[in-house]
Amino acid sequence: MKIAITAVSDEISGALDGRFGRASKFIIYETDTGESSVIDNAKNLEAAQGAGIQSAQNVIEAGTSAVITGHMGPKAFKLLRENNITVYLTEL
As a whole-number percent, the residues of the chain with pLDDT over 90 amount to 82
User: What single-letter DSSP state applies at residue 70?
Assistant: S
Helices (H), the chain: 42-45, 51-61, 74-82
Residue 46 has pLDDT above 80, yes or no: no
Residue 43 has pLDDT above 90, yes or no: no
Residue 74 has pLDDT above 90, yes or no: yes
Across residues 22-39, what is the average pLDDT?
Answer: 95
Amino acid sitting at position 52: G
Residue 92 has pLDDT above 90, yes or no: no
Pairing of strands 25-30, 36-40: antiparallel
Do the beta carbons of residue 39 and residue 28 sit within 8 Å? yes
